[in-house]
Chains A and B, each alone.
Chain A
Amino acid sequence: MSARERIAGNVASYVDDRTGAAAWMKKNLQKVFPDHWSFMLGEIALYSFVILLLSGTFLTFWFDPSMREVVYDGAYVPLQGVEMSAAYASALDISFEVRGGLLMRQIHHWAALIFMAAIVVHLMRVFFTGAFRKPREFNWILGIGLLTLGIVEGFLGYSLPDDLLSGTGIRIAHAIIQAVPVVGTFFAFLLFGGEFPGIAFIPRIYTVHILLLPGIFLALITVHLMLVWYQKHTQYPGPGRTEKNVVGYSLMPIYMAKAGGFFFIVFGVTAFLGAVASINPLWLYGPYTPGQVTAGSQPDWYMGWLDGLVRMAPPLEPVIFGYTLSLNILIPGLIIPGIIFTGMALYPFIEQWITGDKREHHILDRPRNAPNRTALGVMSLTFMLVALLNGGNDLIATAFDLSINQIMWFSRIGIIVLPPLAFIITKRLCLSLQRADRELVLHGRETGRLVMMPSGEFVEVHEPISPEKAWLLTQHEQNAPLELEESDSRGVRRPGLLKSKLRKRFAVAHAEQVPKPTMNDVREIEHH
């Protein structure tokens, strides 16, 4: 036994003597994870979160979350002598006087953008492959919670430096709070400690940003990962993969090396961006004052859709029984986001209600094999994309020499017309892809080789595809729509008929498929 093995053995027995965890450790070190590039998206989010904790801790050592007025006398000459909050002054000090401070600030901001992007793309992967189905509905909801909190956390984070741009964002958040019926004004006064802007909100959102939300994040992420671990990861369909197994590599050593290495890669890339790509150059904006604004003011990308919705809202502000209802703020600022996030959280249950499918699913869907779900996803993304584009309408107008009014009208109409269009097109595309799969299984692959028949006719040679590929293209289930009885055995109509009719229509739409080829079809073709 080498010295190294002896040490490893000693460590293992030391741990086991005190925890009795040997069996558990053995089992979990050999835990099998399936391999696919898209499974790294969630990893990127996780690693970005760690980077955020590390870089954020660094920033707290110098950042002064106070709205006390100071006269700046730091290294950045253009702002010397300007009155500003201590928060903004300390953000300038971090950028210009702390060694590595600007780098760390930029790493922190880039990591936040990557964190949100990774969450969104991870969510898209989970949605389009049906990974949210039973037994993973809880984890889906946790994910939606993390996404929502991530948006809030990011917004609070970039609001902390108290520059002109971020203050404008806070101004808008304040207006949304104030627009809430009945309690809005009271709420705004409580949160801001009085009138806007006051001197309380920076220290308050600082506590929320560095303590409260990160704590909740840690808890939610831990549960999210524990569930992934316990329920075992989903896998893509393929030869040898079933609902009853997991095909992949073991945690020790493959995934320890790969995932550990990947953390360093994500950190390295974020650091590279922080080094070369300037982000949020807050010294250019100046300190916040409510009487000024930067032209072309933009939120970070994950807030852009919200801003875009607010921009395109119609000017509705009815006064009802003497009270003002700011629908132009409430609809885009609270109601639509509420519907979007609630709808997302409930989707697994809605789909279950439509299909009536209560079984566990561990093999992922190919998006084309769930045309209705895929179309719904693309429809929602189209909605968000139009909103996001409208959030940058001023920049688009400047860049492409268009008028803001044209873009706004395009968005107002587009946000109603384009999503349903996207649904129809996507669904047809999915069914076409299914048809193409069917052709491939039945007639093989086009080789591009042309052969002249004795009759003088030219035909293209088709080559049969491999059994593995044929399995991949046909392994999915195709279930008939849920059968619903409209009346019971004695002919009495069941209550809730409208609901069940609706359910039936959804079920039929959801089950629309191109029949997948079977051996019978293959043999029949061979016959000819």
Chain B
Amino acid sequence: MSNEIELIKDPGLPEHKLRQSDVDPKAADRAERQVAILFGLSSLGTIVFIYSYLFIPVDRFVFIPLMGDQNLHQLLLGLGFAAALLFIGLGAVHWAKTLMPDHEVIAHRHELRSPDADREAFVKTAKDGAAAAGLGRRSLIKRSLGLSLGLVGLSPILFLGDLGPTPGNALRTTSWKAGSRLVTDPGDRPIRPEDLEIGAVAQTLPELAPGKDHHSLNDIAKDAVLLIRLRPEEFNLDAERLSWTYQGIIAFSKICSHMGCAVALYEQTTKHLLCPCHQSTFDVTRAAKVIFGPAARPLPQLAITVDAEGFLIAQAPFNEPVGPSFWERSA
């Protein structure tokens, strides 16, 4: 035995196997019929499609086991369309597999790189071209062109400048003012403390400014406030925050301090608020302190009290920006 390593050999392409349709004309005819039947089924599908489009009303519903109530128009339209397409595909593939020649073909593959002479010629052409333009020698042209291209490249930034205003103070302000009444959302009714039972939650907004007839989405995105009523002794707050509550009623911004979703889930037994987007969990009894999840800050608390008529009002605007963080938030 020699010491040279001999690899196992490539036996070469296996012998071609004939299909039944290659040797038996009957099988080939059978395959032809099968293909024709598949194409025929496609035509049937189109007929169902046309019939449904023309004759089944858009609002006809039928009950189908497992699927429940289904819109018959959409269902049959879709099934007809699907069949029309699917059977064309199946027919074509069956045709290719049974009747078209299935001899494997070998094509040669050449390395992609060009012959050395071509590559050199290419490099030379490129060099000659660059030399002819004189870029290397005439550095004044090169530099001034670079400068002008760079400057004109800035123009899209200017062109797009009017896409929107600069932020200004917008992220720090809401519609809440000292004395704003809290009103229900929806309904815009002012709320008295006795409207809220212990354990109740209400979604509120500031009362509409005179002359406005509804809350814009931009306002709601900053103004939405949740009212929650607990027993006053359940709070675990410092004196200042406690003075922001009224008879066990506490108010928080509903806009999550993480990414701005509405913190809409309140669990009465644990007194936790949960944001359904990323599950940040806030403890209502401890001024919405984050007890779980990715949020890093408590929900801003709105200081509330009642006015002379006994309606709940804001003592003052929020003392910090509501909603998600931004770079200059604490600046």
Known: A189-B167, A290-B255, A290-B262. A246 touches B106 (CB 8 A): yes
**Distance between Cα atoms of A158 and B329 in the complex (Å):** 31
Docked-complex contact B294 and A314, CB < 8 angstroms: yes
In the assembled complex, which residues on chain B have CB atoms less than 8 Å from the CB atom of A326?
Answer: 296, 324-326
Whole-angstrom distance between the Cβ of A226 and the nearest chain B Cβ = 14
Known: A102-B71, A269-B82. A240 touches B10 (CB 8 A): yes
**Shortest Cβ distance from A178 into B: residue:** B326
- Chain A residues close to B by CB (< 8 Å): 30-32, 75, 83, 96-97, 99-100, 102-103, 106-107, 135, 168, 171-172, 174-176, 178-186, 188-198, 200, 231-232, 239-250, 253-254, 257-258, 260-269, 271-272, 274-276, 288-297, 307, 310-317, 319, 322-326, 328-329, 332, 360, 362, 393-394, 404-405, 408, 441, 467-468, 470-471, 474-475, 517-520, 522-524
In the assembled complex, which residues on chain A have CB atoms less than 8 Å from the CB atom of B91?
Answer: 261
Known: A174-B260, A275-B74, A276-B67. A190 touches B160 (CB 8 A): yes
Cross-chain pairs A/B with CB under 8 angstroms, 6 sampled:
A96-B58, A189-B167, A232-B107, A253-B100, A297-B276, A329-B324
Residue from A188, A250, A362, A518 in contact with B8 in the complex, judged by beta carbons closer than 8 Å = A518
Residue from B12, B100, B276 in contact with A239 in the complex, judged by beta carbons closer than 8 Å = B12
Docked-complex contact B100 and A254, CB < 8 angstroms: yes
Docked-complex contact B73 and A360, CB < 8 angstroms: no
Docked-complex contact B164 and A190, CB < 8 angstroms: yes
Known: A103-B78, A268-B86, A408-B279. A175 touches B259 (CB 8 A): yes
Known: A276-B79, A289-B217, A360-B112. A519 touches B92 (CB 8 A): no
Docked-complex contact A175 and B260, CB < 8 angstroms: yes
Docked-complex contact B167 and A292, CB < 8 angstroms: no
Known: A264-B85, A291-B220, A291-B224. A394 touches B109 (CB 8 A): no
Docked-complex contact B165 and A194, CB < 8 angstroms: yes
State whether the Cβ of B108 lies closer than 8 Å to any Cβ in chain A: yes
Residue count of chain B within 8 Å CB distance of chain A: 97
**Distance between Cα atoms of A147 and B278 in the complex (Å):** 25
State whether the Cβ of B163 lies closer than 8 Å to any Cβ in chain A: yes
Whole-angstrom distance between the Cβ of B80 and the nearest chain A Cβ = 9
In the assembled complex, which residues on chain B have CB atoms less than 8 Å from the CB atom of A103?
Answer: 74, 77-78, 81
**Distance between Cα atoms of A264 and B94 in the complex (Å):** 13
Residue from A248, A268, A289, A292 in contact with B105 in the complex, judged by beta carbons closer than 8 Å = A248
Render B163-201 as a binary contact track against A, CB cut-off 8 A, 1 for contact. Answer: 111110011000000000000010000000000000000
Whole-angstrom distance between the Cβ of B78 and the nearest chain A Cβ = 2
In the assembled complex, which residues on chain A have CB atoms less than 8 Å from the CB atom of B86?
Answer: 264-265, 267-269, 271-272
**Distance between Cα atoms of A232 and B105 in the complex (Å):** 14
State whether the Cβ of B221 lies closer than 8 Å to any Cβ in chain A: yes
**Distance between Cα atoms of A450 and B218 in the complex (Å):** 80
Docked-complex contact B293 and A311, CB < 8 angstroms: yes
**Distance between Cα atoms of A478 and B217 in the complex (Å):** 64
In the assembled complex, which residues on chain A have CB atoms less than 8 Å from the CB atom of B164?
Answer: 189-194, 198, 200
In the assembled complex, which residues on chain B have CB atoms less than 8 Å from the CB atom of A172?
Answer: 259-261, 277
In the assembled complex, which residues on chain B have CB atoms less than 8 Å from the CB atom of A175?
Answer: 258-260, 324
In the assembled complex, which residues on chain B have CB atoms less than 8 Å from the CB atom of A362?
Answer: 109
In the assembled complex, which residues on chain B have CB atoms less than 8 Å from the CB atom of A323?
Answer: 327-328, 330-331
In the assembled complex, which residues on chain A have CB atoms less than 8 Å from the CB atom of B101?
Answer: 254
**Shortest Cβ distance from A322 into B: residue:** B331
Docked-complex contact B221 and A195, CB < 8 angstroms: yes
Whole-angstrom distance between the Cβ of B60 and the nearest chain A Cβ = 12
State whether the Cβ of B290 lies closer than 8 Å to any Cβ in chain A: yes
In the assembled complex, which residues on chain A have CB atoms less than 8 Å from the CB atom of B96?
Answer: 253-254, 257-258, 261
Q: Please indicate which of the listed interface residues B90, B171, B262 has the most CB atoms of chain A within 10 Å of its own CB.
A: B262
In the assembled complex, which residues on chain A have CB atoms less than 8 Å from the CB atom of B81?
Answer: 103, 271, 275
